[in-house]
Amino acid sequence: MRLPPPLIELISRRALQSLSARGVIASDHPDRTADKVARLISADLSVEDEITEEARLLLAEHQEKIKGKDLEYHQLIARAKGQIAERRGYLLSTGPGRLSREKLHDLAGKIFDLLLGDPDVEYFVKDQELRNQVLRALEMELAKDAAREVRARQKVLNIKRRIPEDSPEFHALFQQFYRELLDKEG
């Protein structure tokens, strides 16, 4: 999955709180609405995981044909994923922990549709403004997450003993510090 589940829950909750605080929406059951948004994001991003797995299986089936050629595996995976996603009408994100601008627009549109169809949610702006506000709220939360990643990375770098950045230990410590920051904010 592109984003860890605790981050999806935090983004969903905070984005809706932001919309509510700015007077854009009101929800009779904010926790239930945040859960719906989190499930929508998780379901959407899990489609990409399915596409990745399908691309891997496809390449594994054709491994003998590929073996003798001078081809990069990651490029083949990317090409296969692109073709599968296009066939399914799905917009891919850019990589682990990252969502492209196009993907953010896609998710904002899906969240907008969810909010419009949710009987618990009332909105106080025009449709296009609601969609723009949802996009803005998602962007703000992802910017906060980028800052959280920088702080976690800096914590690892501040350890007195030098730990190479590409080492498994660096990655494990980064994940630990990142989760701590995420839990503290959640």
Which residue, 143, 151, 103, 133, is CA-closest to 7?
143
pLDDT at site 64 = 75
pLDDT at site 156 = 95
Lowest mean pLDDT of 55-64, 83-92, 108-117, name the range: 55-64
CA distance 80 to 47: 15
The model's pLDDT over 82-112, given as tens digits with 9 standing for 90+, comes to 999 999 999 888 666 678 889 999 999 999 9
Q: Does the pLDDT at position 141 exceed 80? A: yes
pLDDT at site 69 = 67
Specify if 150 maps to a domain.
no
Specify if 160 maps to a domain.
no
Specify if 178 maps to a domain.
no
pTM of the model: 0.85
Specify if 119 maps to a domain.
yes
**Domain that includes residue 17, residue range:** 5-143
Whole-number percent of the chain with pLDDT over 90: 70
Band (34; pLDDT cuts 50, 70, 90): very high
The token pair at 170 is: 């660096």
Average pLDDT (149-157) is 95
Band (4; pLDDT cuts 50, 70, 90): confident
pLDDT at site 59 = 86
Q: Does the pLDDT at position 54 exceed 70? A: yes
Specify if 72 maps to a domain.
yes
Number of domains in the chain: 1
CA distance 2 to 122: 30
pLDDT at site 68 = 64
Specify if 155 maps to a domain.
no
- Strand positions, DSSP E, the chain: 25-27, 121-123
Band (76; pLDDT cuts 50, 70, 90): confident
Specify if 185 maps to a domain.
no
Give every CB contact of residue 29 below 8 A, 6+ residues apart in sequence.
Answer: 120
